[in-house]
Amino acid sequence: MLSHLPQALAFIVALIFSANSFANDTALSRAEQDEKHMYAIRIVFGEHIVSATLEDNPSTRDFIAQLPLSLDFDDYSSTEKIAYLPRKLTTTGAPPGVDPDVGDIAYYAPWGNLALFYQDFGYSDGLIRLGRITAGLEHLSFPGSKQAKIELVPAD
């Protein structure tokens, strides 16, 4: 009976390594899938580019369906740059509101506008987070109104 112990032990060790490898592969494929469900956009203000990633949610997919867009952005309350979209986005599955952080891109459902937050702001009902600015936040410090082109960045 003891002669089979090394074989049984080897089998158990192989089984554990196999299960661990499967778990790591599954975690990696989930991370890769999550990465594939992020969208990259650029917002071009003249010569300045603001880069961002968007979350995968119904509102974001509805927004992406409208791209490319040319929009006029205005300052709102020295906190955010806002622009009105050609049509309202779906709010299916959206939370009742969010507390945006500096760098957040959001959609304000009651007014139908896109918001780029360059200052901190508190919780707001009807606000849906679409994504985050990853570079170029400093380009939102302009006064008055400025036109921008928003486009989806092609995947590699």
Structure confidence at residue 106 as a pLDDT band (50, 70, 90): very high
pLDDT tens digit sequence for 19-70: 444 444 434 333 443 444 689 999 999 999 999 999 999 999 999 999 999 9
Give the angle 15-24-7 at the CA atoms, nearest 5°.
15
Do residues 66 and 138 share a domain? Answer: yes
What integer is the mean pLDDT of 100-120?
Answer: 97
Do residues 13 and 72 share a domain? Answer: no
Do residues 62 and 124 share a domain? Answer: yes
pLDDT at residue 2, rounded to an integer:
52
Domain enclosing residue 109, as ranges: 39-152
Q: What is the pTM of this model?
A: 0.76
Do residues 135 and 70 share a domain? Answer: yes
* Number of domains present in the structure of the chain: 2
Do residues 106 and 56 share a domain? Answer: yes
Tell me which residue of 122, 121, 125, 105 sits closest to 113, measured CA to CA. Answer: 105
What integer is the mean pLDDT of 119-130?
Answer: 96
Owner of token pair 């009902």: 125
Checking if the pLDDT of 81 tops 50, the result is yes
